[in-house]
Amino acid sequence: MDSRQLYQEMILEHNKKPRNWGMLGDATHKAEGVNPLCGDHIHLSLKLNGDQVEAVGFEGEACAICKASASMMTVAVKGKSKTDAEMMVQEFRDMTTGKLDAAGPHHLGRLTVFSGVSELPTRVKCAILPWHTLHAAFAGTDTASTE
Amino acid sequence: MSARDTLIAPLDVAALRRDFPILNLKIKDKPLIFLDNAASSQMPQPVIDRWVKYRSAQHANIHRAVHYLSETATAEYEKARLKVQAFINAKESRECIFTSGTTDGINLVAQGYGRKFFKADDEIILTTLEHHSNIVPWQMVAEEKGAKIRVVPINDRGELLVEDYRKLFNANTKFVAMTHVSNALGTITPIREMIAIAHEHGVPVLVDGAQAAPHLKVDVQDLDCDFYAFSGHKLCGPTGIGVLYGKAALLEKMQPFKGGGDMILSVTFEKTTYAPIPAKFEAGTPPVGEAITLGAAIDYLTGIGIERIAAHETDLLDYATDQLNRMPGVRLIGTAEKKAAVLSFALDGVHPHDVGSLLNDDGVAIRTGHHCAQPVMQRFKVPATSRASFAFYNTMAEVDALVASIGRVQKLFA
């Protein structure tokens, strides 16, 4: 697959105008995600109300794939329970590593726009980084890395 | 100085390209445009053939046996050492040690010289331009000995501030390690002058020549450097081989880096004595075939003429720089007055990783990232850059293709 095919409208749009941009002032959970090989670096903040993700915000310097993935992730997990969000983390991981059956039941919705990344091994880590970071934030670990 | 200023016969690049089978590769039906030479260079057929000849008719372990193959391999290995000596104009061939690469050579000096002679509060001068391989080995020995690292700053063009360097020297300064050419910015440093300054203070200098040796004439006697390290795979040779040049008097004072066979005179469990140089620093079976192949690569380059290579690469650099400077939204990072053919650049609003991926779709191979030079990236406040680096087998048409490809990326992200 051409990486150009990955840079579809939606991904370019989310890269240009990322949703939920900016760290939350009243975050209950925070984590930092780093991809040392290519220089992707994102900060994620969450406000959990009990088990529910009430608000989410992120910032960072990252490539378009990473930024768009982070932006779409924040939209997808806002309002969800921690359990549902963690399930999406797993499904997203599976999808980008070619293990998810896109036709089968899953909760990724529009995130399937990243399914092509499974054919571009050098970009998989870019797409997955925000999700690793989310997982780390839930777990209370400060940093996530793709290494 | 451009090719126009000197009477240098121009390269027949088309003919030279025919020597490189890999340049015929297609990347998804597009011709390969290989602009990542600072990372590693390609190998021409005559050099590939030399490896094959060694493996087909000359291989055996060296220095150890009296049979034909061992004698042949040994002779060829030592012949390669003589070629290295001539290539860098070392006074004696025993001053040319075969290593596994530049990084290995620098570690050799850090351990062989630094560990033996550095003491607490000693100062080691490095520069902001350094590749991690010329930073970390010194940090490791400095930490062990309680020594301090001092760093020469650069200006916004990526040039070393020589006056600041001069001011760093004091009674505690014991060593300088610096690059000849910056792999991230292409800056050619004023090492001759800086070596002279260090010597005024009685301080030895190691030069990281990884990016220099393939692209400009290196004369270690003229530079008067105390150590000079470079890699085979950056100058059309194989990976796994490099050279550390060191002045004989210094190498003789140093302790060995690796211990084992071949670097000894005699071994008993009570006492072991070490071999003279270069053997003292060549423990174990060396990369024999690789050293011989490196010799062939040196022959190939000197056959073309390093000055002619430098002139062509300067033309490529000037053209590419001019073209990129005309593109709005493209910022060159590293604009020193004296540069090797390395172009680091940033595209407004597009992360280098995206640039690299999309260029790859057009068959253009560049490098994106921190280039093992995080301090340089931090100095320019960028997480990473995109870097195109040229060799003598690149063409002006390839520069055009690079420019067109960058233009397409900008359009996609507009």
- Predicted confidence at residue B2, as pLDDT, reads 54
CA closest to A14 among chain B residues: B413
- Predicted confidence at residue B7, as pLDDT, reads 66
- Predicted confidence at residue A2, as pLDDT, reads 73
**Are residues A3 and B358, on separate chains, in Cβ contact within 8 Å?**
yes
Distance from the Cα of A42 to chain B's closest Cα (Å) equals 12
Which candidate in B96, B225, B236, B372 is catalytic? Answer: B372
Answer yes or no: are the C-beta atoms of B158 and B185 closer than 8 Å: yes
Active-site residue, B225 included: no
How does pLDDT run across B56-65, given as a tens digit for each residue?
A: 999 999 987 8
B86 contact partners, CB below 8 Å, separation of at least 6: none
Please say whether the structural domain B48-303 has been given the CATH code 3.40.50.10860: no
Residue percentage of chain A with pLDDT more than 90: 66
Answer yes or no: are the C-beta atoms of B393 and B20 closer than 8 Å: yes
Angle between the N-to-C axes of helices A121-139 and B352-361, in degrees from 0 to 180, rounded to the nearest 10 = 150
Mutate to test the interface with B, among A1, A4, A65 (most CBs of B within 10 A): A4
Distance from the Cα of A142 to chain B's closest Cα (Å) equals 20
Residues from chain A that touch B352, judged by Cβ atoms under 8 A, are 38-39, 63
| Residue A114 token pair | 């990243």
Residues from chain B that touch A3, judged by Cβ atoms under 8 A, are 357-358, 360-361
Mean pLDDT of A47-61: 95
Distance CA B353, CA B384 (A): 8
**Are residues A39 and B412, on separate chains, in Cβ contact within 8 Å?**
no
For B137, B193, B374, the CA distances from B185, given in Å and listed in that order, are: 22, 20, 12
pTM of the predicted protein model: 0.93
Residue B64 CB neighbours (<10 A): 13
Q: What is the ipTM of this complex?
A: 0.88
pLDDT at residue A37 greater than cutoff 80: no
- Predicted confidence at residue B192, as pLDDT, reads 98
pLDDT at residue A94 greater than cutoff 90: yes
Residues from chain B that touch A119, judged by Cβ atoms under 8 A, are none
Residues from chain B that touch A63, judged by Cβ atoms under 8 A, are 351-354
More confident: B152 or A146: B152
* Averaged pLDDT, groups of 10, chain B, 414 residues long: 62 96 94 98 98 96 89 96 98 98 98 98 98 98 98 98 98 98 98 98 98 97 98 98 98 96 93 95 96 98 96 97 97 97 96 94 94 95 94 98 97 92
Distance CA B254, CA B174 (A): 15
Distance from the Cα of A111 to chain B's closest Cα (Å) equals 19
Which member of A2, A37, A63 has the closest CB to residue B354?
A: A63
Domain range annotation of chain B: 3-31+305-413, 48-303
The CATH homologous superfamily of the domain defined by B3-31+305-413: Aspartate Aminotransferase, domain 1 (3.90.1150.10)
Domains, chain A, ordered by start: 3-141 (3.90.1010.10)
The answer to whether the peptide bond before residue B238 is cis (omega within 30 degrees of 0) is no
- Predicted confidence at residue A38, as pLDDT, reads 74
- Predicted confidence at residue A35, as pLDDT, reads 87
- Predicted confidence at residue B9, as pLDDT, reads 82
Burial B102-126 (b: 16+ CB within 10 A, else e): bbbbbbbbbbbbbbebbeeebbbbb
Mutate to test the interface with B, among A34, A38, A61, A65 (most CBs of B within 10 A): A38
How does pLDDT run across B200-234, given as a tens digit for each residue?
A: 999 999 999 999 999 999 999 999 999 999 999 99
Distance from the Cα of A2 to chain B's closest Cα (Å) equals 6
